[in-house]
Structures are given as structure tokens and as C-alpha cells.
Chain A
Amino acid sequence: MSFYKGAALGIALAALAGTAQAAWPEDRPINVIIAYAPGGSTDVAARAFLPFIERYLEGAEFAVINRPGAGGEVGTTELASAKPDGYTIGFLNSPSFLQKPYERETRYTKDSFTYIANLVYDPGAYAVKADSDIQTIQDYIDWAKENPRRMTVATAGVGTDDHLTLSQFNSLADIQLTLVPFAGDAPSIQAVLGGHVKSVGLNLSPYMNWVKEGQLRVLAIASDERVDMAPDIPTFREQGIDLVNGSARGLGAPAGLPDDIVEKLSAAVEKAVKDPEFVAQSEKQYVPLRYMNSAEYRKFIDQQDAMVKQQWETDPWKK
């Protein structure tokens, strides 16, 4: 190969590489890893949201890949080990994925990811059946104090954010609640409506239908301030218990995603989250949106991780 030919080839390749970099997303689909089974709440919400990002990110076409298993760990591991080229992104459910590295040796840490943007923040909340004698969170605490370990709380499982909220509630109010782990939100609510457990401790949004129907009474939410979707429900803080916890869902990618791609994605997510059609759809489905840009999301993850770490050291959710 002559020098000129070689040089020409080199220039052509460089030009190609240059356009490839500038043209993200080019003509191939962006894989979106969802660490939960198709039809589940994370999956449904993700599939409903992705078309709105496509609307604001020119040329983007998403292909959803469900990789369920091990409470989300299988899919999260796959996301962490993918190439950070912008063609593999995924949904991260925190604090759930942050808890795994404390429980066992995982093939990822919180630093294995690029945090693109947060979408949803759903605060923890405690509720009882509407015909219960317990009217306020103070009644609830009083009853729990008089009857140690007899206050049963249906939750969506061991080691979930519900479990963390319950442990914190226990230590802040000096009570002993009994965690009853069901296989998800719906069976937990069914158990309290059927009178099989005394209370339920999930996040706020799964209750909303039943609150509107007058079948559940939410006593307090673990949010720093009252939320738009239920402005009548007081926070724990208002009632003297400094309990703030909840689950968040955001968009992440493998660590080392180029900044320009992060910015493009984050900007598209911001526009999508503010899209009136999407806002209306989320309100209807009681999905509490809370957009955070890449830097804010990263800071938020660090805070959640610190909280998880402290919990693991003082009162681990798996013994």
C-alpha cells in the first residue's frame, strides 16, 4: 500500500469515525435493558415512556430487552458490563440496585454506571384499611407500642425500599413492627383489604386507586414535603418523625458514556418528562414524576447509597 493510499484511507476512516461520533444515534436501535419481566410495573412504565424520548431525540429508536431475574440483579449486571457507546441504556430502580452489593458479591458497584436522568420518585407511605380504628400515625405508633410485634405490615418483599422504610420507622418511633413480605404491591394491598394484615407499607402510588375509592387510609408519607397527587396526606416529618425514604426510577448507562451523549439523552428526557401528553398520562396512572439531570441524579444516588450503607451497618435487612 502506497503512502498516499494509506493516508487517504486513514483520513477516510477518521472522517467516518468522526461522523459516527457526531451522528449518535445513527441508524441502529438503542437497546434498553429492563431488569424486570415484561408486563410488570417497571416494564409498563418504561415502555410507555420511551416513545416520548424518541419524540425529542432525533433518529433514536429504542429496542426493549427484558432481563429479569434475581430481583433485578441480572439485568443491572448486564447493563454495567455493556459497552458505553450509547447503544445500551437501561432503567435503574434505586435503592434496590444499591442494596445488592451489600448483600452479596456483585459484579457491579454504584460506580459502574453513568447516571443519565431520574424520572420517578415515589415516597414510602403507611396505610390501613378505611374502616380501621387507627386514624393517625400517632394512633398507629401508640397501638404498636402497646402490642409489640403484633402490628403486621404487608410489604413488597425482603430487602426492598419498603423494608428500609420499615426499619427506619422502627428505630425512629421506637416500635417493633412485623414485616410480612408478599410477592409485590398488588398482593400486599389485597392482604390489607382482606383484613389478613393490619397495615401496609409500600410506596404512595399503588395506594392511590384505593384511596380514591375510600377503601384505604394513608396515615403518612415518607416525603420531605406533601406531594401533588395527594395534597391532603400529611408527611411523617409534619408529625414529628424524620422519616424520608422512597424508590426512584431513572435512566442509566454503563460507566464511561461520552458526555455529549449523556447531555443529549438527559435533555431529551427532560423534554419528554415535561411533555403535556406524558404529564397527563402519568397523572392518570398516579406516577409521581421527578426529573433530575445527570449531576443531580448522581448526587441523589450517593445520598441513597449512604442511607443504605448506614442501614446495613446498624440493622441489616438480611441477617
Chain B
Amino acid sequence: MFDPLLQALPVAFAWSSILAMVIGTLAGILVGALPGLSATMGIAVLIPLTFGLDPLVALGMMAGIYNGAMYGGAIPAVLLRIPGTPAAIATTFDGYVMSQQGRSGFALKVAVFSSAFGGIMSAIALMTLAPPLSKITLAFGPAEYFWVAVFGLASISVLLGRDPVKGLIAACFGLVLSTVGIDQVTGHERFTFDTLELSSGFHIVVLLVGLYALPPVFIMAEEAIKKGISAAELKFGGAGSYLDILRYWKTLIRSSIIGIIVGILPGAGGNIAAFLSYNEAKRASRDPDSFGQGNPEGVAAAECGNNADNAAAMIPALTLGVPGSSVSAVILGGLLVHGLQPGPALFRENADVVYGFMIQMLVTSILLIPFGGLLATRLFSQVLRLPRVMLAPLIIGLTVVGVYCINNSIFDLYMMLCFGLVGYCMEKLKFPLAPAVLGLILGGMAETNLRLTMLISGDDWRALVQNTISQIIIALVVVVLLYPVVRTLMANRAANQGET
């Protein structure tokens, strides 16, 4: 197993490959840090430029962008509460609170280190376990995917916060949005009002940018009007060494495993990995209430989870041609351009390229620490020095460019603005935003897979529960749903015993 890896070492460390990885990582951090621009888009733009290049140079850049962007998304998430990529939503929960407490430096340090850790673990999984792990992908059919989506929806309950009713309303809003567009199972249009642009449904990034990036801008503008122009004070302190982060080793390892599993499953991307990691870290913590109040462990869980998704998502892509996430789908396209067909034959006939790419995924994860930690973080944190009146239009400009680039569509911009207003109202009325985004991501996944299961089984409901994997996931759903009840009961009992 390690022979091909060793043979690929010299090509992966050729100067051209190293240069490609460095450029890719820097570009990735930049792309990730700009709301609306995503790794998918960065790589898609890159593909045509790489025709003439050696495959490993092209792949090195893609690996860099992939890993870089997953971390880059955390920078605005921590500094401005604007997730740079969908996967960075969970990072805002504690990261931004830490920023407000004047600990943004430490929050970003935690994010860099956790991202690198998750990425490294994921790359190791890719190198050592790719062929056997691809069997897991095959074992998941529509019934299993349905339960994965239900598990995700159930875990929203952990995110609901202090006011569950508002959280549920937000989740339902997301679920309703997920029904818009052409229905995959019947081909009928739903809630499209004869609008061509609505027939593909809402793009997740449009909703994300609208809900997360615009309301802070509106609030900045509002404050500027009320209070006039004031330079924001730079609170970038909150040191803490990398050794401090190692205290969260349990969370890091747990989040890596969650990220890797989610990565192997097609259809569930880094955003789900980050949410699940965050939820599990919160559940396992001795002090779950500190999550959301600026607990660095929350940042560690989210960032580690979303980077652990990366290389793992390439496992089904390389071995089966089934991409585990939208980014890996685009990388797959890049491989095809270079005449590399995914499948077992790839590992036999182009071993140096495949294993070279795996090494690049590992190296670019490590590169995050110097480039992300030392360079990008310092550079981007200067954003905090900008007066808010200048920052607000800058963010608007960047988000408009980013969202327009998704489909080259003006319609998407209008939708983003609408969601921005909705997000602003939700913010003012103290509705949580995350359940809405999760509702959109998971609603369609749950619905389509449920109906495919029924179609395959000829409307036999038993098909939903007869596989072992389904049963395991159902058990996990039950645990997640009962956990808060059990915890309350235990707490009550403990309190009662204390009294008597």
C-alpha cells in the first residue's frame, strides 16, 4: 500500500508542484474569505487554465484551493460573523462571540490549527483507506440517505437555542424553501410561479449570503447613521499558544472522524460536517452552556469538522466517480480534463498522479498553519481597523460579485437582497439563522430520498427500516432527540436529591 505513496513522493515535491500548492493555498484562503466566492467556483475557473499544465501541477493548485478555502471561510466568520463559505456557519457561533470579547486572535489561531488537523487526518484516511472506504458509499442507498438527512434535521434541535419555537419556525422556513423548484421525482415545478430562474430552486450560497452577510451590513449602516462615523477599535488580542489548543484533542479527533464519514457520503458536504461536529462537541462537553458564549472548543469542532470533510470527499470521487461534495465534483471534472477516469483503474494506471494528489492534500493542509496562521490572519484582521461606514459598502460589493458569479444571474442578486431583508428581520426579532440554512440543505435531501425509497420498494414502508445501516442511524436519531429530555430529567433528579 505504501509503495505507490513513496513512488509518488518525488513528483509531489517537484518544485513546480510545491509552487502550485503554495499559490493554491493562498488563493484558496482568499477565495474562502470573500463571502459568496467558494472553492467550487475558484477551482472551476482554474480548470481551463490548467489544460497545458502537468496534471500534478493542476491538482496541486486544486488541493490548495480546496483546503485553503475551507479555512478561509472562518476568517470573516470570526471577525464579522459573516461565514465566507457555507461550511463556516458553525464557526460563527463561538468565533464571533470570541471576537467581541477581544479574543479574535486566539479564535483564528484555533481555527487555523483545527482546520489543519482535520485536513491532515482526512488526507491520511484518503491515503490509507480509500478503496475499502468506498464500499461505505456503495452501501448507502436512498433509504440510508433519508435517515442521514433526518439525523441532520434532528440535530437542529441542539441548535435551537433559548427559544425553541423561534428556532422551529426558522427551520420550517428553510424546509419550505427547499420545496421550491423542479421536483426531482416527478419533474413537476413547485412554487416557481412560471419563473424560469426559480425552477432550479434556491442556491444555498444565495440564501447563505443573504441571511448572514447582508444583515450585519444593514446593522453597520444603521449604527453609522445613529452614531456617526467612528473608527472601530482594534481588539485583536487574546493570545494563547498552539499548545492550548491541544487540550481539545478529544474534540479534534471526534470532529475529524465525523468529517471523514460525512465526506465519504455523497450529498452531504462540509457544512453538514461542521454542524454535526459542533453539535457532538456540545453534547459531549461537561459544560454545554458555554457553547455559543465564546468557547474556543466550538470553533475547533466546526473548523476541524469542515476540513476533515475535504480529502475524504475525494474517496468516493476517485474510487467510484461519485463526488462526495460539490468541490470534489469540480475536481473530478479537472481530472477528466487531463484524461484521468475515476475508478479502480485510476489507482493502477495513474498511481503516481493519484497518490501524488493525496500527498498534496496532506501538504496543503500543513501549509495552512504558516500561510493561514501567520500571513492571512494578520492581513485580514486589519479589516477590523476599517471604520464601519467603509466596511459596509465593501462587503456589499464583494457579496454582489460573488453571488452573481454562481450562475451569472441577476435574478440571484435580487433573491440575495430579499433574503438579506428577511435575515435582517430575523436578526431583529431574535430568530436563529442556522436552522433555516440547514432546513434548505437537508429538506430536499430528506424528501427526495424518501420518495425514491418508496418508488424502489413499490410503496412498501418496511424498506425504510430493513437495512442495518438505516437501523443504526435511526438509533442515533433517537439518542439525539431524547438526549435533552434525559438531561433535564437527570438535572431535576439531582436538584431534588440536593434538596432532600
Binds A, one of B118-126, B220-228, B306-314, B327-335: B327-335
Closest chain A CB from B308 CB (angstroms): 22
What 0/1 readout, one digit per residue, does chain A (184-204) give for beta carbons within 8 Å of chain B? 001101110111110000000
The B185-221 residues at the A interface (CB cut-off 8 A) are: 185-189, 196-197, 199-200
A70–B196 contact, CB under 8 A?
Answer: yes
The B353-409 residues at the A interface (CB cut-off 8 A) are: 407-409
Binds B, one of A8-16, A60-68, A79-87, A300-308: A60-68
Q: State the B residues within 8 Å of A (CB).
A: 40-41, 43-45, 47-48, 51, 137-142, 182, 184-189, 196-197, 199-200, 266, 316, 320-323, 329-330, 332-334, 336-337, 339, 341-345, 407-409, 448, 452, 455-456, 458
Q: How far is the CA of A239 from the CA of B74 in the complex (A)?
A: 59
List 26 A-B residue pairs with CB atoms under 8 Å apart, sorted by A's residue number: A38-B333, A39-B333, A41-B336, A51-B51, A66-B407, A66-B408, A67-B407, A67-B409, A70-B197, A73-B199, A74-B200, A152-B456, A157-B187, A159-B187, A178-B456, A186-B322, A189-B322, A190-B138, A190-B322, A193-B320, A194-B138, A194-B140, A195-B138, A197-B456, A209-B345, A318-B187
Interface size on A, residues (CB 8 A): 54
Q: How far is the CA of A51 from the CA of B337 in the complex (A)?
A: 12
**Chain B positions within 8 Å of A39 at CB level:** 40, 43-44, 47, 329-330, 332-334
Q: How far is the CA of A197 from the CA of B189 in the complex (A)?
A: 26
B185–A209 contact, CB under 8 A?
Answer: no
Kindly name the residue among A183, A195, A196 whose own CB sees the greatest number of chain B CB atoms within 10 A: A196
Q: How far is the CA of A138 from the CA of B13 in the complex (A)?
A: 54
Smallest CB-CB A-B distances: 10 pairs: A196-B141, A158-B187, A38-B44, A39-B330, A39-B333, A194-B138, A70-B199, A209-B343, A44-B333, A69-B200
Total residue contacts A-B, CB cutoff 8 A: 142
A209–B196 contact, CB under 8 A?
Answer: no
B321–A186 contact, CB under 8 A?
Answer: yes
Which of A44, A182, A191, A210 is in CB contact (< 8 Å) with B336?
A: A44
**Chain A positions within 8 Å of B458 at CB level:** 149-150, 178
Whose C-beta in chain B lies nearest to the C-beta of A103? B187
Which of A48, A68, A318 is in CB contact (< 8 Å) with B407?
A: A68
Q: How far is the CA of A18 from the CA of B293 in the complex (A)?
A: 71
Which of A37, A149, A213, A285 is in CB contact (< 8 Å) with B343?
A: A213
- Assess whether A212 is interfacial by the CB under 8 Å rule: yes
- Assess whether A284 is interfacial by the CB under 8 Å rule: yes
- Assess whether A180 is interfacial by the CB under 8 Å rule: yes
B187–A73 contact, CB under 8 A?
Answer: no
Which of A38, A190, A209 is in CB contact (< 8 Å) with B47?
A: A38
A158–B332 contact, CB under 8 A?
Answer: no
Closest chain A CB from B193 CB (angstroms): 13
Which of B184, B322, B407 is in CB contact (< 8 Å) with A69?
A: B407
**Knowing that A74-B407, A158-B185 are A-B contacts, what are 9 other residue pairs whose CB atoms are under 8 Å apart, sorted by A's residue number?**
A38-B41, A38-B330, A39-B329, A70-B199, A77-B196, A103-B187, A158-B187, A195-B138, A197-B456
Which of A41, A64, A68, A190 is in CB contact (< 8 Å) with B48?
A: A64
Whose C-beta in chain B lies nearest to the C-beta of A152? B456
Q: How far is the CA of A182 from the CA of B449 in the complex (A)?
A: 9
Q: How far is the CA of A209 from the CA of B138 in the complex (A)?
A: 16
B343–A210 contact, CB under 8 A?
Answer: yes
**Chain B positions within 8 Å of A196 at CB level:** 141-142, 456
Q: How far is the CA of A39 from the CA of B48 in the complex (A)?
A: 10
Closest chain B CB from A198 CB (angstroms): 9
**Chain A positions within 8 Å of B345 at CB level:** 209, 212-213
Whose C-beta in chain A lies nearest to the C-beta of B137? A190
Whose C-beta in chain B lies nearest to the C-beta of A197? B456
- Assess whether A6 is interfacial by the CB under 8 Å rule: no
The A168-226 residues at the B interface (CB cut-off 8 A) are: 178, 180-183, 186-187, 189-191, 193-197, 209-210, 212-213
Given known A-B contacts A39-B332, A212-B345, A285-B336, A191 and B40 have beta carbons under 8 A apart = no
Closest chain A CB from B7 CB (angstroms): 23
Given known A-B contacts A157-B184, A181-B185, A190-B266, A67 and B456 have beta carbons under 8 A apart = no
Closest chain B CB from A282 CB (angstroms): 10
B47–A74 contact, CB under 8 A?
Answer: no
B330–A187 contact, CB under 8 A?
Answer: no
Q: How far is the CA of A210 from the CA of B339 in the complex (A)?
A: 16
**Chain A positions within 8 Å of B339 at CB level:** 281, 284-285
A74–B196 contact, CB under 8 A?
Answer: yes
- Assess whether A256 is interfacial by the CB under 8 Å rule: no
Given known A-B contacts A40-B333, A70-B196, A190 and B408 have beta carbons under 8 A apart = no
**Chain B positions within 8 Å of A286 at CB level:** 341
B323–A186 contact, CB under 8 A?
Answer: yes
- Assess whether A71 is interfacial by the CB under 8 Å rule: yes
A180–B452 contact, CB under 8 A?
Answer: yes
- Assess whether A271 is interfacial by the CB under 8 Å rule: no
B182–A71 contact, CB under 8 A?
Answer: yes
B187–A209 contact, CB under 8 A?
Answer: no
Closest chain B CB from A174 CB (angstroms): 20
Given known A-B contacts A39-B44, A70-B199, A285-B336, A318 and B186 have beta carbons under 8 A apart = yes
**Chain B positions within 8 Å of A182 at CB level:** 452
A193–B138 contact, CB under 8 A?
Answer: yes
Q: How far is the CA of A45 from the CA of B320 in the complex (A)?
A: 19
Q: How far is the CA of A66 from the CA of B138 in the complex (A)?
A: 31
**Chain A positions within 8 Å of B142 at CB level:** 191, 196
**Chain A positions within 8 Å of B322 at CB level:** 186-187, 189-190
